[in-house]
Amino acid sequence: MSPPSPRAAAVHLLDQILGEHRLLTELLASGALDRLDAPGRARAQRLATQTLRGMERADRLLKKHLRKPPPLHVMNILRLGTTELCLGGDAHGVVNDCVSMIAGHKRFATLKGLVNAVLRKIATDGPAEWAILRVPHLPKWLRAPLSEAYGAETVAGFEAVHFAGAPLDLTPKGDAAALAEALGGTEMPTGSVRLQQAGQISALPGYDSGDWWVQDAAAAIPARLLNAQPGEAVLDMCAAPGGKTLQLTAAGADVTALDISDARMARVRENLTRTGLNATLVTGDALTHEGQYDAILLDAPCSATGTIRRHPDLPHARDGSEIGDLIALQAAMLDRALGLLKPGGRMVYCTCSLLPDEGECQIDEALIRHPALKVDRDALAMPGIDPTWITEEGGLRLRPDYWGDQGGIDGFYIALLRI
């Protein structure tokens, strides 16, 4: 059986995300695109994420031409075709391929005329109309609490960055300036290297030799803040996919990488092998882990609402119902991590969430539960850190609209704790 086209594969991803509420990372890990070659996988993923980012605009344009919504699979083909056409795709190729996808479908072949007619109208009028529509909004389940926390104007700034998409950030194993020059990228203030047009990641110079790894600039800050020293016993408490483990290991620390998922731990192992770094890998539950460590990095499971600029599937695959359980798990993990620290030890607690309940509030409550606990505000005096990003309790609040003119950063909360 021949592999699907990248467009067909992208529609399959949309069907799973919007119909089955599965995350794109889960789909990719389960082999959803494995039948495609590397360029095909990259294109399919790009088409799916572009469609998700622009879905509100696509739906507004399509509503004018549909008397009623068609079945989800057909709607997703129309959404993908509309997005491509409005972003400058070749009308002949886009329309013909979308019609062919419907014509070959056992259940929906009779709707090929509808798809053809609608997309031909979109090809004529859609691009001009697309350009004047508002920046797509986050769903209400997320927009409401974020607006309460930051204000509607700030949230609109988040949405603008989400819609624009994210450049590729790399963490160098060696010198950032040299890597930026070699790849034609930009050295960011905190030491990451940013590529605006990366192309196929595995084809970039230095990938096979392990000179760098993909890691958003915000996600690279927690390990830099922990400042692991050679020979220190360090626990990366929720390690997968391994970017922070690589940072800690490259600093010379004796790193134990812990994660509950065998499949996710395989990613950590692959990244260590490619970069020629070594760590002790442990698959297990953080809440029952034993040991004593000089330093711990806890990137706790969270809503991941700070990563939407890179993961536009998240607000469509989730509805916020899991956040209460996540908050309870974060508190339990934080308490457990403190119990694993040697006297005088330090810990970074972080989440890639924009919700204060998963960040600032967690630290406020931890300080009540543990009277001897201190937040090290002074440790935040790092290159690239704007003092206005430091919060009242002494943590660091990163937002997608920071560095917005350069592509933004992930939303994160980070605090360095000492006992």
Catalytic machinery residues = 352
Contact 344, 419 (CB under 8 A): yes
Classified as helix, coil or strand, 418 is strand
Q: How far apart are CA 383 and CA 161, in angstroms?
A: 23
What are residue 283's DSSP bridge partners? 259
Q: How far apart are CA 29 and CA 19, in angstroms?
A: 18
For tokens 């056409």, name the residue: 85
Question: 102-136 burial by CB neighbour count: b if 16+ within 10 A, else e?
Answer: beebeebeebbebbbebbeebbeebbeebeeeebb
| Reduced 3-state DSSP string for 248-295 | HHHCCCEEEEEECCHHHHHHHHHHHHHHCCCCEEEECCHHHCCCCEEE
Q: How far apart are CA 61 and CA 66, in angstroms?
A: 10
Contact 145, 324 (CB under 8 A): no
Closest CA to 402 of 386, 382, 379, 378: 386
Q: How far apart are CA 337 and CA 101, in angstroms?
A: 51
Closest CA to 7 of 99, 72, 116, 123: 99
Q: How many residues does the chain have?
A: 419
Alpha carbon distances (Å) from 44 to 8, 93, 296: 8, 15, 38
Question: 236-272 burial by CB neighbour count: b if 16+ within 10 A, else e?
Answer: bbbbbbbbbbbbbbbbebbbbbbbbeeebbbbbeebb
Q: Is the peptide bond before 241 cis (omega within 30 degrees of 0)?
A: yes
Classified as helix, coil or strand, 23 is coil
